[in-house]
Structure 1
Amino acid sequence: MAKNFKDKVREQFSRTAESYVRSPSFAQSDDLAEAARMLQPTCDDILLDVACGGGHSALYFAPLVRSVVASDLAMQMLKKAQEFISEEGGVENVTFREADAEDLPFPAGAFTLLVCRIAPHHFPDVPRALEEFHRVLRRGGRMVIIDTLLADEPHIAEFQHNYEKLRDQTHIRAFTQTEWEQMVVDAGFILHETTVQKKTHDFQEWAKRSGLSRDEVQQLNKMFIEASDEIQDFFQVETFAGEVETFTDNKVLISASRPPKKSPQAGNK
């Protein structure tokens, strides 16, 4: 499944790269400031941006660190991210590398910081990706993962999965906070902090960003309109004249680090 699926991911995000680069939802968001608070970057840090998308995270962190490597599975997305960062100007410490999050082409311990933003729900094997994050981080290196948070309530989670899949067939699944924390610990990280932020989406921009046709957007709109009052309340769905204007979901931010190397004294005790 993985190879064929990843080809599909490349195709999807190559086709929609420009809309992701220009999306205000990615460019203007409080999650990057929160991620910076968690990571505490310094001018000595080397940061890996996994599944960099339009390059917004790389651009945000570039002035705060020594260098950034922006990686993505889709070469066309990387090209658009490079164009975007070049257009913004003032940043000369970002390099770009085609890379699979589950098989990163970097040596062990190559980075002191890592960020992965709104991408893991597209990964076929998130635990494998976390193992790779652990490998490429230096001992004591810090990581922040940001992604869509799955609701704890099964019927709401099912609705969430269905609308995400209808919008983008490369969506695999989101995870609950408990699931995320367990996966991070299982991968060998020290879990430091988990926070949740609400994010309000302009429905039309959100739907069209993934390349949906007009009929597909209307099908997605109908799904929200016909949802139960409980689900509409949970996602704070705002409508006008039978059209969804906005809805709000939750994003989880997870801060963790690779354990530091034990001192010889500690090992002899």
Structure 2
Amino acid sequence: MSNDFKNKVREQFGRTADGYVRDQGFAKGEDLDEAVNLLKPTSEDIMLDVACGGGHTALHFAPLVRSVVASDLTMLMLKKAQEYISDEGGVDNVTFREADAEDLPFPSGSFTLLTCRIAPHHFPDVPRALREFHRVLRRQGGRMVIIDTLLPDEPEIAEFYQTMEKMRDPTHVRAHSRQEWIQMIEEAGFHVEATKTFNKTHDFPVWAKRAGLTREGVKTLARYFIDSPAKVHDYFQIETFAGEVESYTDQKLLLYATRTDKK
């Protein structure tokens, strides 16, 4: 990441940290349960949660593993995550570390499990981050789950998605299709064992405001949704009432991969 972009990310998520910590859409979900099902964590596992956000994934896994390192680029987000996990109680095996996903400050082979949930679309260089994920995972038994928004295959719908995300959050870089993800993960030295998609419905006003949009910004974004083509409305199941956007539904892609050694 460039320093300018890293500073923009820190500013954005430092300003909006409370909203992400309190959001129940991050705190629970089928994707978290499926991640546990696939990774099969044990009391011997040492886990890294990259770009931990509000700490929800770290807290979900903490009772199931020996220890968790929750890392994030934004120090204020880490502090909010620490407060959240402390307030929830019941675990004492989570530590917190400021870290850039593309330049992780951990020795090679430090972890047996790695998760990264709803964050890679903020990474300028996903392949570089994936190489770092591969490096810090152990050769034997290293396994990983990545969860992020799935980029639609249809170009016009994909363009709508990319545009509206950038309108909402200037630190959005790019979402990826299933095939793009599989290619990047395998090129980093992993073997993709399984993929799964989940529908996620967003309360539009809450979702828009969580990113720090002004009232005028929310109105502009809502108008972009309303004026979009019918196929966009159909794909995202956009729900409106009295000229206001109430909700939309996108897809999250989960990828489960294991470390392989390149020859």
TM-score range, shorter chain: over 0.9
Counterpart amino acid of residue 121 in structure 2: H
Hey, what does 2:182 align to over in structure 1?
181
Deviation at 1:28, TM superposition (A): 2.6
RMSD: 1.2
* Separation in structure 2 between the aligned mates of residue 148 and residue 82 of structure 1, nearest angstrom: 25
Question: TM-score when scaled to structure 2?
Answer: 0.98
Q: Is the 8 A contact 2:226 2:245 kept in 1?
A: yes
The number of equivalent residue pairs is: 262
Corresponding residue for 1:78? 78
Q: Between Structure 1 and Structure 2, whose CA radius of gyration is higher? A: 1
Whole-angstrom CA distance in 2 between matches of 1:73 and 1:37? 28
Residue 30 (structure 1) shift: 1.4
Question: What secondary structure, in the 3-state scheme, does the structure 2 residue paired with 1:138 have?
Answer: coil
1:101 maps onto 2:101 in alignment? yes
Correspondence 1:197-212 to 2 at 5 A: 197-212=198-213
Distance in 2, Cα, partners of 1:9 & 1:239: 31
Aligned to 1:137: 137
Deviations 1:223-253 (A, max 9, x none): 1111111110000011111111110001000
Please tell me whether residue 163 in structure 1 is matched to residue 161 in structure 2: no
CA distance in structure 2 between the partners assigned to 1:30 and 1:207 by the alignment: 23
In the other structure, the counterpart of 1:123 is 123
SS in 1 for 2:68: strand
Hey, what does 2:6 align to over in structure 1?
6
Q: SS at the partner of 1:71?
A: strand
- Partner SS for 2:260: coil
**How far apart, CA to CA, are the structure 2 residues paired with 1:46 and 1:23?**
26
State the 4+ residue runs in structure 1 displaced beyond 3 angstroms: none
Counterpart contact for 2:69–2:95, Cα < 8 Å? yes
Q: CA deviation at 1:259?
A: 2.0
Deviations 1:168-221 (A, max 9, x none): 000000000000000000000011001111111111111011011111011111
2 CA distance for matches of 1:87 and 1:178? 40
Identity of aligned residues (%): 67
Q: Secondary structure at the match of 2:146?
A: strand
Q: Give 1:260 deviation, angstroms.
A: 6.7
Tell me if the contact between 2:189 and 2:261 (Cα under 8 Å) persists in the aligned partners: no
Deviation at 1:25, TM superposition (A): 1.4
Structure 1 CA distance, aligned partners of 2:166 and 2:247? 18
When residues 155 and 261 of structure 1 are mapped into structure 2, their CA distance, relative to the original with a 3 A threshold, is: closer
Unaligned ranges ≥5, structure 2: none
Answer yes or no: is 1:114 the counterpart of 2:109. no
**Do residues 27 (structure 1) and 27 (structure 2) align?**
yes
- How far apart, CA to CA, are the structure 1 residues paired with 2:121 and 2:170? 11
